[in-house]
Amino acid sequence: MLRTALIALVLAAGCATAPAQADETATVTVQLTGLQPQGSVMMQVFNSAEGYGSGDQLTARQIPITAASASVSFENVPPGQYAIRLFHDVNGNGQLDTNPFGIPTEPFAFSNNARGRFGPASWEDAVFTVTAGANVHQITIPGSN
Amino acid sequence: MSLSRRQLLSGFAAASVIAAAGPALATETPRWSPGLDNAPVDGFAEAGMRLLSGRAPRALAGEHYRNGPGWFRYADSATGHWFDGDGFVQRFAIEDGRARHSGKFVDTPKRRLEQREQRIVMPGFGTRGDRNAAIEGPDSMNAANTSVMIVGDELWALWEGGSPTRMDPRSLATLGVRPLRADLASMPFTAHPKVEPNGRIWNLGIYGDRCIVWRLSPNGAVEDAQIIQLPTRSYVHDWAVSERHLIIPLQPWIHDRMTAPMVDGFTWHGDQPFRVLVLDKNDYSNRRVYELPAMFFFHTGDAWEDADGAIRFDLCASANADFVTHQARSMITQETGQTPSAELVLAVLHADGRAELQRSGRYGEFPQTDRRRQGRARDLVSIVDDRAVSRLGLMNWRTGAYAEHDFGADQMVQEHLFVTKPGRTNERDAWLVGVTLNAREQATELHVFDAAGVGDGPIATWRSPYRAPLGFHSTWKDA
């Protein structure tokens, strides 16, 4: 009896919560513009200031680039605060190239089109809010230095 | 060239005297203030200049290009330093005894952004800028305002912290920044490249205690680029190249903390020596460091080597960095000030490791030499007297003679270049071509001197019906 009751409770809970979960997840489509049609964009997604600062990413994507614009979608994303940083691996060597003094020679960008000052953009400038349902975030890739 | 023992004062004693006796540049009234007004936003369309006096030699034909800061303030904001104004390039074309003038701003990303927002946004050498300014790299801040050079079919506007900006030498249209080599994008390229008589271009780019040594073909292709370690951090605005050596003066004005604006991160270390790093052109690992007493400099003339292996190069040396830390800032706010003048000296680096200074007793800046003799023995160097900036001087190191012309108290003299007389080889077979700002007439004037008769005054002078900003450095292109 107890076992049956527990199963019923779990099922009921499942019935009750499953639709709610579906409503509370989000889809995030990141649209990229201003690209040179070659190589790949290497994108990192963060969901905390700590992870953003330490490089501890939530997820990452490699997006082949064949046109001046591209988009990538993330499904079943819990609503919350996120930040993106990316670089355009124009020559396809898998890394952000820098000059001998450490200054990037391939384009890089952040969510909100945030810009850094002598370094990466801050979490505060790059963070954006994802709400349940469809979200679109646009990032323009600045030209190479 | 031989020098007497008396001329060759010991380095320490010489610099001590510079520190003690360098006369002060007193600016009772800011005569230079018209030169720090914004130039017209669209520049100056090409127009003829009026011949005021004299007659230009028929054989003198070519273009005198000049660059310098030309935009300093918006309604509610201003640059914090003379060195941070937007680059404004002027072209003075001389042909058939006539002169024409035009000028245009270098269309940099910095200028486009600030014109759009009608405010100073980018930080600079002495400008704090907006703390939220988007800085992708050095070229985000590149003012392209310091010098200019002809490379192949292009005119390059130079700034010391980033890339050259390419321009059309006829229209002065900006063609943009194109990296000299993809992997070397955004590397610094000083505003004082050295061009050998065969056209090969040498330059440096300084980053902390490291330095890139550029070697380019006459058309601007990178032949070689190497990173070298410097013995110390320093502010290196100019340097020198002889036939066999690269000569990098390392003054004790040291960037030792990151702060905005950049100039506030430098400290004058008057207790430290003025080092000179000398590299073998063919093997940078073959190097030597010389030491002279503390002194400050912006500009060198040029270098050469004697048969005994001694390297000599002109320096305009002052007692400290007060001009760059104080007066070049107060010029923007149109305040007066006093800073030490620079004395023209000849640094002598002996083969046995000793270093000495030969003093001239002449004070000035913007030294210029005969570029046909780049890296080779010569006698002459021209300077602009920086105590009374109305005077142009020509020093002869071999004879000690000094010729001078005083334009009068209303004039501010700017750099004058040697222009070779066609078919002639003697060093004095040259003209000196340069610009003054006439504060009384509110006009820019172009002058031609015969190098053999500087004291006689200009042999031709033209005047524009307007004034253009003061500039820094120039170049000449034969027609």
Q: Which residues of A touch B (CB under 8 A)?
A: 97, 99-101, 103-105, 115-118, 125, 142, 144-145
Find the mean pLDDT for residues B13-29: 42
CB contact under 8 A, A100 and B131: no
In the chain, the amino acid numbered B202 is W
The alpha-carbon gap from B311 to the nearest alpha carbon of chain A, in Å, equals 31
- The more confident residue out of B331 and B176 is B176
Contact B443, B410 (CB under 8 A): no
What are residue B66's DSSP bridge partners? B90, B474
B249 touches chain A (CB under 8 A): no
Q: How many other C-beta atoms can be found within 10 angstroms of the C-beta atom of residue B232?
A: 15
A101–B185 C-beta distance less than 8 A: no
- The domain of A77 spans 25-140
What would the pLDDT profile of B187-229 be if each residue is shown by its tens digit? 999 999 999 999 999 999 999 999 999 999 999 999 999 999 9
pLDDT band at B121; cut points 50, 70, 90:
very high
Report residue B2 as tokens. 């031989």
What does pLDDT average to over chain B? Answer: 91
The letter for the amino acid at B14 is A
pLDDT of the residue at B190: 98
Q: Residue B311's domain spans which residues?
A: 8-478
Cβ pair A145:B227 closer than 8 A: no
**pLDDT for the residue numbered B322:** 82
| Out of B135, B179, B185, closest to residue A115 by CB | B135
CATH number at residue B14: 2.130.10.10
Q: Which residue in chain A has the smallest CA separation from B179? A: A145
Domain tally for chain B? 1
Which of B136, B209, B229 is the best substitution to test chain A (most A C-beta atoms within 10 A)? B136
Mean pLDDT of all residues in chain A? Answer: 86
Q: How far is B86 from chain A (nearest CA, A)?
A: 19
Task: Check whether the bond before B109 is cis (ω within 30° of 0).
Answer: no
Q: Closest CB to A145: pick one of B183, B185, B207.
A: B185
What domain count does chain A have? 1
Asked whether residue A47 is domain-assigned, the answer is yes
Average pLDDT estimate for B306-327: 90
Q: Which helix (H) or strand (E) holds B20?
A: helix B11-21
Query: Would you say residue A8 lies in a domain?
Result: no
Asked if residue A80 belongs to a domain, the reply is: yes
CA B65 from chain centre, in angstroms, equals 13
Contact B183 A99 (CB under 8 A): yes
Measured in angstroms, the CA of B263 and the nearest CA of chain A are apart by 16
How far is it, in rounded angstroms, from Cα B89 to Cα B114? 18
| B139 CB within 8 Å of a chain A CB | yes
**A144·B185 Cβ contact <8 A:** yes
Q: CATH code at A52?
A: 2.60.40.1120
pLDDT tens by residue, B433-458: 999 999 999 999 999 999 999 999 99
Residue-wise pLDDT for A56-99, tens only, equals 999 999 999 999 999 999 999 999 999 999 999 999 999 999 99
Residue B3 lies in a domain: no
pLDDT score recorded for residue A8: 39
Q: How confident is the model at residue A142, as a pLDDT?
A: 83
ipTM: 0.85
Q: Is residue B411 part of a domain?
A: yes
Question: What is residue B337's predicted lDDT score, i.e. its pLDDT?
Answer: 63
pLDDT at B470 over 50: yes
For residue B57, tell me if it sits in a domain: yes
| Region A118-125 average pLDDT | 89
Residues A115 and A125: their CA atoms lie apart, in Å, by 8
In this structure, is residue A2 part of a structural domain?
no
Taking an 8 Å cut-off on Cβ atoms, the answer to whether A104 and B138 are in contact is no
The answer to whether residue B247 sits within a structural domain is: yes
Question: How near does any CA of chain A get to the CA of B187, in Å?
Answer: 7
